[in-house]
Amino acid sequence: MFQKILIANRGEIALRVIRACREMGIRSVAVHSTADSDAMHVRMADESVCIGPPPGAQSYLSIPAIVSACEISGADAIHPGYGFLSENANFVQVLEDHDITFIGPTSDHIRIMGDKITAKDTMKALGVPCVPGSDGGVPDLATAEKVAEQIGYPVIIKATAGGGGRGMKVARTAAEMTRAFQTARAEAKGAFGNDEVYIEKYLEKPRHIEVQVFGDGKGNAVHLGERDCSLQRRHQKVFEEAPGPAIDAETRARIGKVCAEAVARINYIGAGTIEFLYENGEFFFIEMNTRLQVEHPVTEAIFGVDLVREQIRVAEGLPMSFTQDDLVLNGHAIEVRINAEKLPNFSPCPGRITAFHAPGGLGVRMDSALYDGYVIPPYYDSLIGKLIVHGRDRPEALARLARALGELIVDGVDTTIPLFSALLAEPEIQAGSYDIHWLERWLERNLAA
């Protein structure tokens, strides 16, 4: 059994992990930069270690700093949260070499899914439906043109080392290919130090549907349905819901089974998310995330499970506390991301919180590390809270979200809160009929400065 877990993160996700530790009787160790000495995660943990100066590269992203903090505090395991080192295969390799348990998948699985071509090859071989495209990397323009002629325009050129939307270019016609291919390669080289690219058929109006999976590392795995995360701005999710409004029970069971069987076959351990584009009733795999995601609470709400507790259990070698048959989908959940950002441009808005009041009541969860008087530092991402609501059905969840947003007070900095009240008034949001381009188009019509 773990006696002590170090949380290699900050903000609301650090609190999320500390809470799970406390309920399990495990001591928690917070790490923090000098900018975060007064942060809530430091206050809430059983102990804390200062790991460096404010910039992430010298603190939350510093492998030697985190490993030293682990050895100083005598922690048995590290929970990485999301972002920072959570999908860094080299970090996990170092922990494996130091006999520190990483609460997450193996370095091999992280490496496989981090390389987008290897990830796609792996998933394809496991029977997961993929977007039609090149067989692996595309070395030159002539090959790119040949592949595009075969699958038909429009196509999208993606960086093998990319993911999350960075380093992608669309070519709508053969005439656009030269430029798109060269730009994609140059951007991939600049952003990732690796200019390998691959090509896919470009899907015009898909939804972003992601399936939550969970494995025990011993060949057993389950799925916990899907989330629809189509409402994004510049590849940042802003509103997520589960179940997906466009997915029926039969479809969920079918794609869920494919995903659970795939991760079982590779002995995957812990939480994972298999991302798909969904168009005209078909799923197309794009990427797998080998971490706990920001939006995991909507899945927790509808299945009534604690995913962090399960991550800790399987990392200790215990079985998951449920089987597929135990997982019964109940109701509907929605999460909105509260960012310290100024509309209409979403420019970061750090500063002092002069008043904070979290909403409450039935079916309301607020995950946030804010408190009255807290000063949001300018060094990290702008997520300051997540409001999650759960209702018996989607209309009830929407009404509850409107009600909870009315109770929420965050004063002193600009936030994305006003965006959500405006979105809730939209008939297409009420109806659940939106795709991955809906939000950007809506923002252009409604917020353009």
C-beta closer to ligand MV4: residue 274 or 364: 274
Q: Is 172 designated active site?
A: no
208 binds ligand MV4 (CB under 6 A): yes
Residue 355: in which H helix or E strand, if any? Answer: strand 355-357
User: According to CB under 6 A, which one of 64, 136, 164, 361 is a site residue for ligand MV4?
Assistant: 164
Say whether 227 sits in a helix, a strand or coil. Answer: strand
The minimum distance between CB 402 and ligand MV4, in angstroms, equals 25
- Rounded to 10 deg, the angle between the 107-114 and 89-97 helix axes is 170
238 binds ligand MV4 (CB under 6 A): no
Binders in 109-148 for ligand MV4, by CB under 6 A:
131
Residue whose CB is less far from ligand MV4, 377 or 432? 432
Using a CB cutoff of 8 Å and minimum separation of 24, what contacts does 232-235 make?
A: 232/208, 232/436, 232/439, 232/440, 233/346, 233/439, 233/440, 233/443, 234/165, 234/346, 234/440, 235/164, 235/165, 235/166
Q: d(Cα 385, Cα 358) in Å, to the nearest integer?
A: 10
Q: What distance, in Å, lies between the first and last C-alpha atoms of the chain? A: 55
Distance CA 70, CA 64 (A): 10
Among 82, 84, 198, 202, which residue sits at the site for ligand MV4 (rule: CB under 6 A)? 202
Q: Are 5 and 29 in contact (CB under 8 A)?
A: yes
Interface with ligand MV4 includes 310 (CB under 6 A)? no
Q: Of 358 and 429, which CB lies nearer to ligand MV4 in the complex structure?
A: 429
Sequence-ordered strand ranges (E) for 143-220? 155-163, 166-171, 197-201, 207-216
Number of helices (H), then strands (E), in the chain:
15, 22
232 is an interface residue for ligand MV4 by CB under 6 A:
yes
171 sits near ligand MV4 (criterion: CB under 6 A): no
Considering only the stretches 21-29, 97-105, 175-183, 201-209, report the one whose residues sit in contact with ligand MV4 under the rule CB under 6 A: 201-209
Q: Considering the rule CB under 6 A, would residue 165 count as an interface residue with ligand MV4?
A: yes
Using rule CB under 6 A, residue 337 touches ligand MV4: no
Q: How far is the CB of 427 from ligand MV4 (least distance, A)?
A: 21
Pair of tokens at residue 335 = 């999460």
Q: By CB under 6 A, how many residues form the interface with ligand MV4?
A: 15
- Helix or strand run (H / E) with residue 221: strand 221-233
Beta bridge partner(s), residue 273: 212, 289
- The answer to whether the peptide bond before residue 55 is cis (omega within 30 degrees of 0) is no
Taking contact as CB under 6 A, which single stretch among the options 144-152, 175-183, 194-202, 365-373 is the one that binds ligand MV4?
194-202
200 binds ligand MV4 (CB under 6 A): yes
Among 156, 305, 419, 423, binds ligand MV4 (CB under 6 A): 156
Cα separations (Å) of 205 from 10, 132, 225, 342? 36, 16, 22, 29
Q: Catalytic: which of 111, 207, 291, 313?
A: 291
Q: Which is nearer to ligand MV4, 134 or 299 (CB)?
A: 134
| Binding pattern for the stretch 408-437 against ligand MV4, x by CB under 6 A and - elsewhere | ----------------------------x-
Q: Known catalytic residues?
A: 291
Residues found near ligand MV4 in the complex (CB under 6 A): 131, 156, 164-165, 200-203, 208, 232, 235, 277, 286-287, 436
